[in-house]
Amino acid sequence: MRIALFLVTNIAVIAVITIIFSIFGIGDVLDEQGLDLDLGKLLVYSAVIGFTGSLISLAMSKMMAKRSTGCQRIEESSDPDAQWIVSRVRAHAEAAGIGMPEVAVFPAEGPNAFATGMRRDAALVAVSSGLLRSMKREEIDAVLGHEIAHIANGDMITLSLMQGVVNTFVVFLSRIVGHFVDRVILKNERGHGIGYFVASMAAQVLLGILASGIVCWFSRRREFRADEGGARLAGSENMISALERLKAGTSELPDGMAAFGIGGGKMAAFFSTHPPLEVRIEALRDRRN
């Protein structure tokens, strides 16, 4: 399914851009201006850049998560709390039909947790030390179920593919803007001048900001599914109680891990990776009723 999604995503990008250019006749306009811009090659170039970056980030996600948060892997030990956490992750993983993830704790005063990894059967689930101190076992169990649901739903790979799509659009459209400014507005007839590079970079920054909002919107949608998964695995009341506990505040995760945490962010709604906790709690209550 993940490979199929990757192929369909790429086909969809090509189809959408082809249709847009056909409807608005952009290709014909560029040809009339003598801009010799090969849109097909540019699209391939953009897709290679866009998807390569997101897939490399996904492949390195576990390593980067461990290094950026200071995760300490929980091994099988005689400590009863460690044994309990590992046993609950194992039970949730078996119920969700995925391989046993690595389990870790990272130092943080406030409660938070995240899951990451390139494959469903070789993922990482990590909880903060603050979460273990501040939550009851039933609530911790629900948080673990929420993170296992993220893995089972394939959220890490799906989010990376979504990032690859928007990266492709950003690179593709920014190069067209730069080419247009250089050749049509500045009348540069040989190679690409400084206007191309300045306009391309400016467009890439602006489009990148807008694209980030699209990825954040998708991230917010998948949180509801993970909440539902956590409720199925650990009970609706426990999931609601855990989210209520998080309203007191969560620990900040590094920028690259923010989308994979359980808590809400402090950014503006358009760029938030998580819906407001009140909205998530209400959604669970509506589903329960």
* Catalytic residue (one of 139, 147, 223, 228): 147
Tell which residue, 148, 154, 122, has the closest CA to residue 3: 154
Taking a C-beta distance cutoff of 8 angstroms, is the pair 146, 131 a contact? Answer: no
- Is 147 assigned a catalytic role? yes
Listed in sequence order, the residues at least 6 apart from 89 whose beta carbon sits closer than 8 Å to its beta carbon are: 100, 101, 103, 125, 144, 148
Q: How far is CA 246 from CA 21, 43, 107, in A?
A: 47, 43, 17
**Cα(228)–Cα(287) distance, integer angstroms:** 9
Tell which residue, 220, 261, 3, has the closest CA to residue 124: 261
List, by residue number, the catalytic residues: 147
